[in-house]
């Protein structure tokens, strides 16, 4: 029986790493060690504490001492000199840096939100889209739906800015019901999808008439640039929905201000349906826990969390906390705690890049702010680690989203397609070389694995003695620690031996002890570097590294 009972006891390294990988991008060896001593309740509560943005002014450049948004070398298909609107590349780097530095669950939530309300960005409004997702991180899903409906990027992407009383456009209304909120149910007759009907789409489009995008003027609550209500183009009649929504009638607005009330009544009607709550909880489960939902999980996990979500006003943070603290999340509600959840999802390019740089303790080596957000080395990062593995930072090619987040039955396994196998299995090469794999194109990230071992595995009182080696002089400890930090599960048997042999190269642990002791004595790392980098290469190119 799948259980939402809170897990008791301290997490230990394995489950601490599991929680951190699933709930945040800021996963480091030191943080895994720290969270290993916390209970699930303590750890999850800490992840929901507020944090300070790394760049509170967003993706600004500094050119000639003055703040500007787009550098003259924007390139990569971006428009140069676009005034007050940041380029999509700049926004991409800002998102990477914020997610990498954020020690809370916030940026995981922001990126989950982006899978709920998918769009391919209009560069003029892209930053405002991400600003709003940021502002809504710890609000509620109902409010998020309202803000996204009025978001400039969404208004233009799905053409609701063209939806007028005399020329209705149903595009956004259709996606709002089919993809963004309640979702289609079983088709029971022509135009009847159980959860709503084709007539409901047309009626919803009438509610949504008259909302327009603008380049200035902000949302009153957040201060973020947002769309506005044009009453002259709004359908003022009452709107009656089908039996799927209890034949609810929404009174038409009588002025521009009242259009927001009408929109709120429509969103409330949709969110009053338990099926909307179920849809969001299923998406939460697939993003944070596991791709596939069994009948047992549907009954024991999804249904009670959906009831909670609806009853608490769609406060998703409380529901997610309960899920992340549960025995089920740690796969401890059955007799085999290694068969499903830990290591049960395929890493997206975001997980691959951001958690890898944090686990490897790699800092971006660019210090000039203009280079940091717009330099050529940053463009190499976008090509190497995102575009080449199926992740366009401007957004997915379809409104459904990236296949790795939505497409059954594979879901996250869609990230591991034939088109990306080489790039994913050679992933670690670029970090070791500080270049784009086998090219001369530099990236501003390079790891030193000997230094990493000294910082994360070794101890100050080493190397000990041959019978009792200490710290990194102990080959078994070194292999264990690298595997624990970099992989989601510890290999066993022949598979463990494979990784150990990569370090030792056929020599004995005693030989390793002397090599490490010599390095500590004279600082010459040539003998230890080969083994450590061979082990690193084996881990980073392993099938196990693909999962989290």
Phi, psi torsion values for 243, nearest 5 degrees: -60, -25
What contacts 182, CB < 8 A, 6 or more positions away? 195, 196, 270, 273, 275, 276, 279
- pTM score, whole prediction: 0.94
SS3 assignment, position 244? helix
Query: What's residue 184's pLDDT?
Result: 95
**446, burial (CB in 10 Å: exposed 0-12, middle 13-18, buried 19+):** middle
Q: Quick check: 212 and 219 in contact, CB under 8 A?
A: no
Structure tokens at 79: 């428009």
The two beta strands, 66-68 and 61-63, are antiparallel
Which alpha helices (H) appear in 102-163, and where do they start and end?
106-116, 126-135, 141-149, 152-157
How many whole angstroms separate alpha carbon 43 and alpha carbon 324? Answer: 10
What contacts 540, CB < 8 A, 6 or more positions away? 427, 428, 429, 431, 486
Q: What is the pLDDT of residues 385-440, one digit of tens each?
A: 898 899 999 899 999 999 999 999 999 999 998 889 988 998 889 999 998 877 77
- Angle of the 475-486 helix axis to the 509-522 helix axis, nearest 10: 90
Residues in a beta bridge with 62: 67
Q: Quick check: 44 and 324 in contact, CB under 8 A?
A: yes
Cα dihedral sign, 282-344-117-201:
negative
What DSSP character marks residue 411? G
Q: Quick check: 426 and 541 in contact, CB under 8 A?
A: yes
Q: Residue for token digits 């024991």? A: 300
How many whole angstroms separate alpha carbon 64 and alpha carbon 375? Answer: 15
Find the Cα–Cα–Cα–Cα dihedral 137, 139, 141, 144, rounded to 10°. -70
Query: What's residue 338's pLDDT?
Result: 67
Report the run of H or E that residue 229 belongs to, with start and end: strand 228-229
Query: What's residue 42's pLDDT?
Result: 98
Query: What's residue 543's pLDDT?
Result: 95
How many whole angstroms separate alpha carbon 346 and alpha carbon 337? Answer: 18
Report the run of H or E that residue 240 belongs to, with start and end: strand 239-240
Query: What's residue 61's pLDDT?
Result: 58
How many whole angstroms separate alpha carbon 404 and alpha carbon 424? Answer: 14
How crowded is residue 232: how many other Cβ atoms within 10 Å of its Cβ? Answer: 8
Q: Residue for token digits 């009948």? A: 295
Query: What's residue 369's pLDDT?
Result: 73
Q: Quick check: 503 and 478 in contact, CB under 8 A?
A: yes
Query: What's residue 314's pLDDT?
Result: 98
Find the Cα–Cα–Cα–Cα dihedral 352, 357, 360, 364, rounded to 10°. 160
Task: Classify residue 453 as left (phi > 0), alpha (psi -120 to 50) or beta.
Answer: alpha
How many whole angstroms separate alpha carbon 57 and alpha carbon 65? Answer: 15
Whether the link from the prior residue into 31 is cis, omega within 30° of 0, is no
Query: What's residue 77's pLDDT?
Result: 37
Q: What is the pLDDT along the chain (548 residues), one digit of tens a residue?
A: 899 999 999 999 999 999 999 999 999 999 999 999 999 999 999 999 999 999 888 886 555 544 455 433 333 333 333 345 667 888 899 999 999 999 999 999 999 999 999 999 987 899 899 999 999 999 999 999 999 999 999 999 999 999 999 999 999 999 999 999 999 999 999 999 999 999 999 999 999 999 999 988 899 999 999 999 999 999 999 999 999 999 999 999 999 999 999 999 999 999 999 999 999 999 999 999 999 999 999 999 999 999 999 999 999 999 999 999 999 999 999 877 767 899 999 999 999 999 999 999 999 998 877 778 877 888 888 888 898 899 999 899 999 999 999 999 999 999 998 889 988 998 889 999 998 877 778 899 999 999 999 999 999 888 999 999 999 999 999 999 999 999 999 999 999 999 999 999 999 999 999 999 999 999 999 999 999 999 999 999 999 999 99
How many whole angstroms separate alpha carbon 391 and alpha carbon 394? Answer: 9
Vertex 517: Cα angle to 512 and 519 (nearest 5):
95
Q: Residue for token digits 């697939």? A: 286
How many whole angstroms separate alpha carbon 143 and alpha carbon 158? Answer: 19
How many whole angstroms separate alpha carbon 28 and alpha carbon 49? Answer: 18
Structure tokens at 459: 């101890």
**81, burial (CB in 10 Å: exposed 0-12, middle 13-18, buried 19+):** exposed
């Amino acid at each position: 029986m799948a259980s939402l009972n809170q897990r008791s006891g301290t997490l230990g390294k394995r489950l601490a790493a599991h929680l951190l990988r699933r709930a945040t991008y800021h996963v480091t060896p030191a943080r895994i060690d720290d969270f290993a001593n916390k209970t699930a309740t303590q750890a999850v509560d800490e992840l929901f504490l507020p944090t300070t943005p790394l760049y509170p002014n967003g993706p600004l450049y500094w050119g000639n001492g003055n703040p500007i948004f787009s550098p003259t070398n924007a390139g990569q298909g971006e428009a140069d000199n676009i005034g007050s609107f940041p380029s999509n590349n700049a926004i991409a780097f800002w998102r990477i840096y914020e997610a990498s530095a954020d020690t809370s669950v916030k940026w995981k939530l922001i990126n989950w939100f982006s899978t709920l309300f998918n769009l391919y960005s209009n560069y003029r409004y892209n930053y405002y889209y991400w600003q709003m997702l940021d502002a809504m991180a710890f609000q509620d899903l109902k409010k998020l739906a309202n803000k996204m409906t009025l978001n400039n990027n969404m208004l233009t992407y799905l053409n609701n800015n063209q939806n007028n009383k005399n020329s209705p456009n149903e595009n956004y209304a259709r996606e709002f019901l089919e993809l963004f909120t309640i979702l289609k149910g079983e088709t029971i007759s022509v135009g009847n999808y159980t959860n709503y009907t084709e007539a409901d789409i047309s009626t919803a489009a009438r509610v949504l008439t008259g909302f327009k995008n603008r380049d200035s003027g902000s949302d009153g609550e957040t201060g973020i640039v947002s769309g506005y209500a044009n009453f002259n183009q709004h359908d003022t009649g009452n709107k009656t929905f089908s039996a799927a929504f209890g034949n609810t009638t929404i009174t038409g607005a009588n002025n521009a201000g009242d259009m927001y009330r009408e929109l709120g009544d429509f969103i409330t009607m949709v969110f009053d349906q338990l099926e909307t709550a179920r849809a969001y909880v299923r998406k939460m489960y697939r993003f944070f826990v596991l791709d596939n939902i069994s009948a047992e999980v549907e009954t024991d996990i999804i249904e009670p969390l959906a009831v909670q979500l609806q009853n608490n006003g769609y406060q998703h943070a409380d529901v997610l906390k309960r899920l992340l603290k549960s025995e089920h999340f740690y796969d401890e509600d059955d007799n085999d705690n290694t068969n499903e959840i830990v290591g049960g999802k395929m890493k997206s390019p975001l997980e691959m890049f951001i958690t890898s740089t944090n686990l490897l303790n790699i800092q971006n080596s660019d210090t000039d702010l203009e280079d940091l957000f717009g330099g050529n080395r940053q463009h190499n990062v976008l090509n190497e680690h995102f575009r080449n593995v199926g992740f366009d930072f401007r957004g997915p090619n379809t409104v459904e989203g990236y296949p790795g987040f939505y497409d059954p039955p594979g879901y996250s396994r869609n990230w591991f397609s034939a088109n990306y196998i080489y790039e994913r299995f050679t992933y670690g090469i670029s970090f070791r070389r500080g270049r784009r794999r086998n090219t001369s194109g530099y990236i501003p990230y390079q790891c030193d694995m000997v230094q990493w071992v000294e910082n994360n595995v070794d101890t100050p009182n080493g190397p000990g003695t041959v019978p009792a080696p200490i710290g990194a002089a102990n080959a078994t400890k070194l292999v264990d620690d690298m595997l624990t930090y970099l992989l989601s599960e510890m290999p066993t048997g022949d598979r463990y031996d494979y990784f150990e042999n990569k370090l030792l190269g056929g020599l004995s642990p005693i030989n390793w002890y002397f090599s490490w002791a010599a390095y500590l004595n004279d600082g010459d790392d040539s003998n230890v570097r080969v083994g450590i980098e061979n082990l690193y290469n084996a881990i980073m190119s392993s099938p196990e590294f693909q999962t989290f």
